[in-house]
Amino acid sequence: MTGDDKSRAVLDKAARENFPVAPVFLPRAWRQDLMAVYGFARLVDDIGDGDLADGGRTDAARLGLEAAAADDRVAMLDAFEADLRRVFDGTPRHPLMTALQPTVRRHGLTPEPFLGLIAANRQDQEVRRYATYDDLLAYCELSANPVGRLVLSITGTSTPERVRRSDAVCTALQIAEHLQDVAEDLARDRIYLPAEDMKRFSVEEADLAAPAAGAQVRALVAFEAERARYLLDEGTPLVRSVHGRLRLLLAGFVGGGRAALKAVEGAGYDVLAGSPKATKARLLREVGSTLRREG
């Protein structure tokens, strides 16, 4: 796959996200920088999930590994981290890392948020169950929150309070995605529903493998969805704290989370029969509602 092909693949995946990644109303420079960050995040997730094109052989070669190492996700993540560090000394190898380098330089970005995303995918190779909600929140601190912090850094709007609100929104988005993908995650031998909550609602792992959700599973999913809504409520004031097109972008993030949760609710919290996805019309309604509330 050429660099252009890789970029197109990233754009295709961006279009399928719950929220707009780099919508056309943003300034071109912001769009380029946000897509560079998204390209990094998408590639590290694809490595962690084993979803790379051609079995990962092309990406392995670009990261300086033998083709045989493409099946070793930990080795691939280690090589990916090494290439990330080369971004900061000016010698990256992978085309998506090369695309990231100008963004890092323009905004004085540090390695930490990128390292968090890599650490989350390393954790996915080792931790497949979460005992408590706090454990899940700690995972989201690595897997989701760095993205919001990078958005604030790129747009020059980062403050401690905005970071706190952004973390709440990003964690909510991650939980909503986990709820949509319970069946898909189980197929990867991963469960992001806290074990303490499964016990509370008398849900066994075998219940999650059923073709449709029973009453206990639906009650559990509804409970976790309410937690995500609470986090969205906590983070939503972030929207009114900024202005212009950034306000619209952040409303898109919040609206995307609310639309995803409405889709889960609309499916009667049965996330096993299929992955409930929000329609574009629902997304637009939720974005509009967010802007009206936070205008």
Given a cut of 80, whether residue 3 has pLDDT beyond it is: no
pLDDT tens digits, one per residue of 110-167: 999 999 999 999 999 999 999 999 999 999 999 999 999 999 999 999 999 999 999 9
Given a cut of 70, whether residue 227 has pLDDT beyond it is: yes
What percentage of the chain has pLDDT greater than the value 70?
92
pLDDT tens digits, one per residue of 43-68: 999 999 999 989 999 999 999 999 99
Residues 6+ apart with CB under 8 A from 281: none
pLDDT at 25: 83
pTM: 0.92
Task: Give the dihedral of Cα atoms 148, 151, 155, 161; nearest 10 deg.
Answer: 10
Instruction: Decide if 217 contacts 227 (C-beta within 8 A).
Output: no
pLDDT tens digits, one per residue of 73-82: 999 999 999 9
pLDDT at 294: 78
**Mean of the per-residue pLDDT values of the chain:** 92
Distance in angstroms (rounded) separating the CA atoms of residues 244 and 291:
11
Task: Please give the full DSSP string across 117-171, using - where no structure is assigned.
Answer: HHHHHHHHHH----SSHHHHHHHHHHHTHHHHHHHHHHTT---HHHHHHHHHHHH
Distance in angstroms (rounded) separating the CA atoms of residues 164 and 148:
10
Give how far the C-alpha of residue 182 lies from the chain's centroid of Cα atoms, to the nearest Å: 15
Distance in angstroms (rounded) separating the CA atoms of residues 72 and 126:
13
Mean per-residue pLDDT, 236-264: 96
Distance in angstroms (rounded) separating the CA atoms of residues 233 and 214:
29
Given a cut of 50, whether residue 214 has pLDDT beyond it is: yes
Given a cut of 70, whether residue 5 has pLDDT beyond it is: no
Instruction: Decide if 265 contacts 225 (C-beta within 8 A).
Output: yes
pLDDT tens digits, one per residue of 85-124: 999 999 999 999 999 999 999 999 999 999 999 999 999 9
Based on its alpha-carbon atoms, the radius of gyration of the chain, rounded to whole angstroms, reads: 19
pLDDT at 23: 78
Mean per-residue pLDDT, 185-195: 97
